[in-house]
């Protein structure tokens, strides 16, 4: 059996003493008031007195038995046998440390609010990129060519590098297929990818379908841009840059 701490025993003993003192001080006054009150019939007063005497004798008998078995505390007037602080009849089984029943492990959270967690970071990144480009533009001139001459078309005439993939497709397919069908199908496939692959995992090894689709898209477009930039010469014919030169300008 767990030993009861000493401070709890002292607190219980002090509460019992206080309750006994209050009961002893209040008993004569209450009995006198009851006897002096003419509104209470005499037979009810006698019945109440007999019941109190009978209850007191029973409490003493029970206290003797409990004291012989478990060493119960002395009987306080007006309190049940074995009452604790404040007259409570609960028994203290053991003392449990407050930290032993508390769950201190943090629950992992994989979702956060868009504002301010995401948008604040994106705003700071946008400001940093803008400031970087601003200071670079002060010291580095843009790679612009001379004024365009409407009477002389450059050969080869190439689109900006981010459109060279489409220009390369125009050399292989019909303009309707190269400019509308293939880009439209690619964009539509990328739109449907999240609805086809509904795997909630954030690990790349668990997202093989999404990773494969994005890899094919990037490699397809990167190869077309590289061919259009470095392997197309005058007349947009296929050339080798290490033999015929580089026909590409930013």
pLDDT tens, position by position, 33-59: 444 456 677 777 788 788 877 765 555
Output phi, psi for 160, to 5 deg: -55, 155
Q: Are 231 and 238 contacting, i.e. CB atoms less than 8 angstroms apart?
A: yes
Lowest-confidence segment of 33-37, 90-94, 122-126, 214-218 by average pLDDT: 33-37
CATH code assigned to 154-250: 1.10.287
Within 13 Å, how many C-alpha atoms sit on residue 216's CB side? 11
Res 69: pLDDT: 46
pLDDT band at 123 (very low <50, low <70, confident <90, very high): very high
Q: Which residues contact 86 (CB under 8 A, 6 or more apart)?
A: 15, 19
Q: What angle do CA 213, 215, 221 make, to 5 degrees?
A: 105
Lowest-confidence segment of 3-12, 60-69, 149-158 by average pLDDT: 60-69
Output phi, psi for 129, to 5 deg: -65, -40
Mean pLDDT of the chain: 78
Give the residue carrying structure tokens 């843009």. Answer: 142
| Residue of 105 and 160 predicted with greater confidence | 160
Whether the pTM exceeds 0.85: the reply is no
């Amino acid at each position: 059996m767990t030993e009861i701490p000493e401070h709890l025993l002292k607190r219980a003993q002090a509460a019992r003493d206080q309750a006994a003192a209050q009961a002893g001080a209040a008993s004569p006054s209450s009995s006198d008031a009851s006897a002096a009150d003419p509104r209470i019939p005499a037979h009810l007063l006698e019945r109440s007195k007999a019941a109190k005497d009978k209850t007191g004798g029973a409490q003493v008998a029970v206290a003797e038995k409990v004291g012989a078995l478990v060493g119960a505390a002395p009987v306080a007037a007006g309190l049940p046998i074995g009452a604790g602080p404040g007259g409570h009849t609960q028994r203290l089984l053991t003392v449990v440390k407050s930290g032993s029943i508390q769950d201190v492990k943090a629950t992992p959270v994989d979702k956060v609010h868009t504002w301010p967690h995401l948008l604040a970071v994106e705003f700071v990144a946008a400001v940093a990129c803008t400031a970087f480009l601003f200071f670079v533009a002060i010291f580095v001139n843009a790679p612009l060519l001379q004024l365009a001459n409407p009477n002389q078309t450059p050969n080869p005439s190439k689109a900006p590098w981010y459109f060279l993939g489409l220009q390369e497709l125009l050399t292989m397919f019909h303009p309707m297929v190269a400019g509308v069908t293939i880009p439209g199908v690619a964009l539509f496939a990328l739109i449907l990818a999240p609805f086809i692959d509904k795997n909630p995992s954030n690990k790349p090894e668990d997202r093989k379908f999404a990773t494969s689709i994005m890899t094919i898209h990037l490699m397809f477009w990167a190869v077309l841009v590289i061919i259009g930039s470095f392997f197309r010469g005058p007349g947009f014919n296929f050339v080798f840059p290490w033999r015929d030169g580089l026909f590409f300008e930013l």
